[in-house]
Amino acid sequence: METLAQAPVLARFGYAVSDPTRARILLALSGAAAYPSDLADTLGVSRQSMSNHLTCLRGCGLVVAIPDGRRNRYELADTRLGHAIKDLIGVVLAVDPSCCAPDGKCFA
């Protein structure tokens, strides 16, 4: 296990939220811990897809799996992530439509 701080943390977070499904998972977990099947149903994705995204988020160090009987419940790895996510949602951006697509992908 490796511990990261500062710029590498931002890079991991940026990678994680670059995918809309992973961003929605983080948003959901910023409200409360959840089981993968419930997240999949709420977000309208397959359970296999949810498993893959949660594996990525775990690998990035953003979520942790908490054993709960025969199942795992997922939550944010650090409560400060929830605060950061909620702060970021409040940001209003003035964007150049010729530079970035509506999904946030840049053309440059």
| pLDDT tens readout for residues 48-102 | 999 999 999 999 899 999 999 999 999 999 999 999 888 988 888 787 877 777 6
- Residue-range domain boundaries for the chain: 7-89
pTM over 0.85: no
pLDDT value, residue 75: 98
Tokens of 85: 């996510």
The CATH class for the domain spanning 7-89 reads: mainly alpha
